[in-house]
Amino acid sequence: MPMKKSVLAAAAAFLMVGMAQAAPSFINGLTIPASTGDQFGTSVNDGRLGMFSDLYYDRNANEWWGLSDRGPGGGTLSYQARVQRFTLDVNAVTGAISNFQVVQTVKFSDGGVAFNGLAPNPAGVLGSALDPEGLAVNPRNGRLLVSDEYGPSLYEFNRDGQLLRRFNTPANLVPKVAGVADYNAAPPSGAGTLTSGREGNRGFEGLAISPDGRFAYAMLQNGTVTDGNVVSGALARGMYTRIVKFDTDTGEAVGQFAFRLDGAGPAPAQGRGISAIVALDDHRFMVLERNNRGIGVPNANVAAPDKKVYVIDLAGASDVTGIDLNNPLPPGTNAVQKSASALLDLAAASTLAHPSLAALGGRSPEKWEGLTVGPQLADGSFVLLAGTDNDYSVTQNGSNLQFDVYYHPGTGARLQCDLGATTNCFNILANGNVEATNLGDLPTGYALIPGVLHAYKASAADLGGYLAPVPEPGSSALFLAGLLGLGAAARRGTLRPRGGGRPS
C-alpha cells in the first residue's frame, strides 16, 4: 500500500475504534456566566460572549470553535460578526468537561469592510450584513465555512476571518416580494410580504461538512414560504424544511433534500425548527430539532421543552430543488430517512437535574443550537458536545432600548434591568410583558441567563460507524502527528486543545 494511503488508513482505523454501548450517555454540563467576555472585552455590545449558535471541533488541529450570531441588538444595532476559538479540558477516560476559556476572537470582514449584524440596508442588497448561524471547518484546507440567515448565504473565510468567497444561493431560497429580492420582508401575511424564498429569520441555521470536505450541507431552520399548506387562503408554515448540498470546489448547490419536522401537522407547533446538522459519514447526519420552549430572553413559556437530536440518512432521498414541499409530498418524492427515536434528548429531566447544571434550576434553556462530535476518549468512544445560544441575555423594547435579562433558578422568575447594570429592575410576566413597578436594584438570587454546554459519551456504534473528517493526503503526516499527540494526552488523563496564539 502506498505511504499516503497507509497513513490515512491508520488514521481512519484509529478514529473508528469504539466500544459498544446502548446509547450516548450524559456525562456532565457547564454553565458559562453570561457576563463572560471574548477577546475584545466585556462591554455588552462589543465583547460579551454570544455563546453558541453553533459549535465545531476541528480534530485535525485539535481546536474548539464557537459561533456567535448577529449580536445583542437582534439586527437593529451595529455588531461585527465573529467566531470564538476556545479551550475545554476533557477527561480522557470519562469525557467530563471543565475549564472553558476563550483564547481567540476572529471578526469577519471582506477586504477591510466588516461583516455586521445589522439587517440589510437597502432591503434588496445583502452587502456586509451577516447573521452567522452554522459553522464547519473544511478538512481539505482548514478554512472556515459559515452559514447565514439573512441570505440565506454560505461563506468561506480564512482563519483570520477574511472572506475568500461566497457560495451561490439557489434562486428558490432567495426571499422575494413579487419577484424582487427583499431580505427584510416578513413571512406571508398580507400585501407587501414575502411571496417566495426563505422565511424571515429562518435561513441557513445549520451547516455540516462531508468527511472528505467535498460537500457542505446547509439546512434551513424551516422551509421556504411556499413549502407549506394553504390555510384559510394563505400559506402556513409547513412540516418540511430543506437541506442544501453544495460542492465546495465550485460553490454551487448540487441538490436539495426534504426533512420532515416532528408533529402531526399541518404546521409545526411551538415554533419548531432545526438548529444544527452534523455529518456522521458521507450520507448520514445528526440533526438537532427543537421547539421554542424553555429559559430564554424572548420566550416566557418554560413548559414542555422539546430539544432532540435525530439521525438522518440522505440515501434514497429525492432531489427537491424544483418542488414545493407540501404535506404530503408529491407522489414519488422521498424525504430523508429520519430515526424513529431520538439519539439525544437535551432536555431530559434526569440530565437537567445533574449537579453541574444547578444554575438552571432544573429547567431547559430554550435555544439549544450548537452540536459537534468532539475528541475520542481512551476507550475509543467520542464526546458529543451540545451548546446553547443565550441571546447575550439581552432584550430590547420597540424603541431599541436594551435591557439585561436576569433569571432566578429557584423560582424561574425573570427581571429586566438597565443594560450593563443592576439598577431599575422590572418583573417580566409569564406572558412576556413587563410590569410597570420599578423594583429598584437587582434582588439577591438572580443572574444573567448563562450559556450551557452538555457533554455526552457515544461509541462509534452509537453513531452507526462514525467517519471523522480527514485532511488532504498532503497534510496526512501532520494529521497523524496530531493523533499521536491526542494519544499521549489520553495517557496523561486530560485532552486539552491547542491554546493561545493565532491558528495557522
On whether the CB atoms of residues 143 and 158 are closer than 8 A, the answer is: yes
- pLDDT at position 353 is 96
pLDDT tens for residues 22-47? 589 999 999 999 999 999 977 899 99
For residue 305, how far is the Cα from the chain centroid? 18
- pLDDT at position 489 is 54
pLDDT tens for residues 236-248? 789 999 999 999 9
pLDDT tens for residues 397-442? 888 899 999 999 999 999 999 999 999 999 999 888 999 999 999 9
Residue 19 has pLDDT above 70, yes or no: no
- pLDDT at position 191 is 56
Rounded-to-integer distance, Cα 19 and Cα 10, Å = 18
pLDDT tens for residues 120-158? 999 999 999 999 999 999 999 999 999 999 999 999 999
Give the mean model confidence (pLDDT) for residues 273-288. 98
Residue 271 has pLDDT above 50, yes or no: yes
Would the pTM count as exceeding 0.75?
yes
- pLDDT at position 21 is 37
Q: How many Cα atoms within 13 Å fall on the side-chain side of residue 174?
A: 15
Greatest distance between any 2 Cα atoms in the chain: 76
Q: Which of the four pLDDT bands, split at 50, 70 and 90, describes residue 233?
A: low
> Could you give the residue ranges of the DSSP H alpha helices within 379-442?
none
Q: Which residue has the cell 457533554?
A: 455
Give the mean model confidence (pLDDT) for residues 293-310. 89
∠387-76-432 over CA atoms, to 5°? 65
pLDDT tens for residues 334-359? 999 999 999 999 999 999 999 999 99
When the pLDDT of each residue in the chain is averaged and rounded to a whole number, the result is: 90
